[in-house]
Chain A
Amino acid sequence: MNIQTNQPVAKLTVAETALVEAFASQIGELPGNGAVTGTRDRLLDDLKKAGLPTRRIESWHYTDLKNLLRAVPERVAGAKASSVSALVKGSTVLPVLQGEAHADAQIDGVTITAFRDQLSDGSAVAGLTALDKDDAIGRLNGSFVRDGLALVIPANAEIEDVIELQASHGEGQIHTRFPVSFGAGSKATIVERHRSETDAAALVSSISDLTIEDGAEITWIILQSQGPSDTHLAQIRVKLGAESKLRLYVINAGGKLVRQELRIEVQGEGAELTLRGVNLLGGDTHTDVTLVLGHNVPHTNSTETFRNVVFDKASGVFQGMIRVAPDAQKTDAKMACNTLLMSDDGDFSVKPELEIFADDVICGHGATVADIDRNHLFYMMARGVTESKARAMLVNAFVAEIVEELEEAKLVEPLEEVISTWLDKHA
């Protein structure tokens, strides 16, 4: 009859079972020394025990992954994906095709290593962590990660050409990792691009791990344009040193089920974070952007602005948690999340959270949800612009404004192009 155990094990869902089985079949060939393999094993075990998070877990309340992730596509070994031209003209493209890194490009002064090598020699093990007990993405990626790119940008290096980390894939399972360290005083612009070449389903997990040393000035642009059946579970972990500046842009323009976590620790005085997000949501998709931002030391500032456009039956959520540590006086943080709801069947939830333990800080947040402004629409139509064209221009303007803040035409123009192409297809 039944085998009695001390702890009742919850019944696994189809997706959870598929993940456990996939791990069992892949573990033999996943790169990694003993320490890495041990860590993978432990992370998977934790994932199995906790199960995929449900709405009962606060940080996953609006994205019930257990319920939403109905199936896990099998890994497709040997599938081909191709590299495409860079988003920004003149970039150095470092392709990761179907999850496999091609680290042969040369950039003066920059050390480029395939992440699989760091798994094999065990140097990657310290990064294979879950950030907290509910970090399903950390566990999933830590268990399954195969490759990616590790970049070291030395102190004071000024990398002129944009570096594009281009993750292209077809169907299957893709688990990648991008640890990048920016030396003190360095300057660089990185595009982290995730793109699908098919309509068939893929499960993607990807973690970028940024260490930004004192005084570095970095622009990091995440462009997610996954396919219509893809699950994209991503995380960016950032540590900001003293007097450093990070402009972090997150553009979601694809995927069926998307969770993009931003885990940012501001840990050097005088650091400045400019976080901007554009979420273009359409069809029957769900997109979740979850920010956990720690202002850990005095005299740091950050601004967070998200603009979302929701068409069809799409749903979205932005969770923005800002923590100000007890001695982080003079923190200045401003968060805003504005949504254009273009359909009665779409929805967007916003959950700002401020946890402030210091007493001399400026922290604020605001959220709006609206339809196109009728005064704007009438004004444009009164000049002969047709209603559909005027609506398209207004939606475009609403999100393009965020991109224009980048100011550099070489970055602004291709991103505006991404936005208008998406809108042409969905509006």
Chain B
Amino acid sequence: MLEIKNLHARIAEDGTEIIRGLNLTVKPGEIAAIMGPNGSGKSTLSYILSGREDYEVTEGDITYNGESILELDPAERASKGIFLAFQYPVEIPGVATMQFLKVAMNEQRKARGEDELTTPDFMRRVKEAAEGLKIDPAMLRRPLNVGFSGGEKKRAEILQMALLEPTLCILDETDSGLDIDALKIVADGVNALRSPDRAVIVITHYQRLLDYIVPDTVHVLYKGQIIRSGDKELAQELEANGYADVIGTAA
């Protein structure tokens, strides 16, 4: 489904290389966890996958369903089914949350040649998805993410994910800033989306989230490379012993 081959990427502005020869394959239905210490390139990888133009790919390729996505802008990637749940969702004053959801859903449908949603159909979908995530309808009447608490922002991200029905979900440190109850709600939301044709990449610092979203594969990212891959036991090993062992072995 997703194949990253010998990827090298740098910050466009100052040329700092962040990703240095990264290889990763994610299959349909797979939940892949990417772990690693601060500064290893985890968030950068999520931005590169979603097409943020602050980063430049200098070598290698990313293919999605067999097709290179490097030339696609973020909106085109999104309509191909790639979704990034932001570590820090952006507050956008003046753009009503409901209006934004509707535009985003319809823009993606348009890009795929599907009909736009009718208003009642849209309202029904939002209502159902919001209930599952315990999102107060009053929150959806506010401008996008403005004044949302940390937990509300993360839930709003998962709400968007549920509504947009992506085929590749990238969760960038979705657990950061969440208390245990909010974490469970978010994890339930993600688990509800598990399906044989949908893959999830969970980027996280800690094992904690992986107790609730159980990964099929775990990869350790360090200095811009995957230095070790394993199954969920690897995450527990990291939790118990820290990154030092893994990094030491690789070095």
Mask for B143-180, Cβ within 8 A of A = 1, else 0?
10000000000000000100010000000000000000
Q: How far is the CA of A18 from the CA of B75 in the complex (A)?
A: 55
Residue of B nearest to A379 (CB): B90
Let me know if B164 and A380 touch, CB within 8 A. Answer: no
Mask for B52-92, Cβ within 8 A of A = 1, else 0?
11100000000000000000011101110001101001101
Let me know if A379 and B92 touch, CB within 8 A. Answer: yes
Interface residues of A in 374-393 (CB under 8 A from B): 374-376, 378-387, 389-390, 393
Let me know if B74 and A375 touch, CB within 8 A. Answer: no
A394 within 8 A of B: yes
A residues near B107, Cβ cutoff 8 Å: 383-386, 389
Q: How far is the CA of A336 from the CA of B197 in the complex (A)?
A: 51
Q: How far is the CA of A86 from the CA of B130 in the complex (A)?
A: 39
B242 within 8 A of A: no
Interface residues of B in 6-42 (CB under 8 A from A): none
Let me know if B78 and A389 touch, CB within 8 A. Answer: no
Residue of B nearest to A396 (CB): B94
Contact of A376 among B51, B84, B92 (CB under 8 A): B92
A45 within 8 A of B: no
Q: How many residues of B contact A (CB 8 A)?
A: 29
Mask for A392-403, Cβ within 8 A of B = 1, else 0?
011011101100
Chain A nearest CB, measured from B96 CB (Å):
9
If A393-B95, A393-B103 touch, does A384 touch B108 (CB 8 Å cutoff)?
A: yes
Let me know if A384 and B94 touch, CB within 8 A. Answer: no
Chain A CB within 10 Å, residue with most, of B75, B78, B89, B100: B75
B230 within 8 A of A: no
Chain A nearest CB, measured from B164 CB (Å):
7
Instruction: Report the interface size class on chain A.
Output: 20 to 34
Contact of B74 among A378, A389, A393, A404 (CB under 8 A): A378
Let me know if B75 and A385 touch, CB within 8 A. Answer: yes
Q: How far is the CA of A381 from the CA of B50 in the complex (A)?
A: 9
Q: How far is the CA of A41 from the CA of B221 in the complex (A)?
A: 83
Q: How far is the CA of A374 from the CA of B100 in the complex (A)?
A: 17
If A378-B52, A378-B74 touch, does A383 touch B104 (CB 8 Å cutoff)?
A: yes
Let me know if A401 and B93 touch, CB within 8 A. Answer: yes
Q: How far is the CA of A286 from the CA of B104 in the complex (A)?
A: 36
B residues near A401, Cβ cutoff 8 Å: 93-94
Chain B nearest CB, measured from A418 CB (Å):
16
A residues near B117, Cβ cutoff 8 Å: none
B111 within 8 A of A: yes
Contact of B93 among A378, A384, A386, A397 (CB under 8 A): A397
Additional A-B contact list (5), CB under 8 Å, known A381-B74, A385-B107, A394-B92? A378-B52, A378-B74, A384-B111, A385-B103, A393-B95
Give me the interface of B with A, judged by CB distance under 8 Å. 50-54, 73-75, 77-79, 83-84, 86, 89-90, 92-95, 100, 103-104, 107-108, 111, 143, 160, 164
Give me the interface of A with B, judged by CB distance under 8 Å. 374-376, 378-387, 389-390, 393-394, 396-398, 400-401, 404
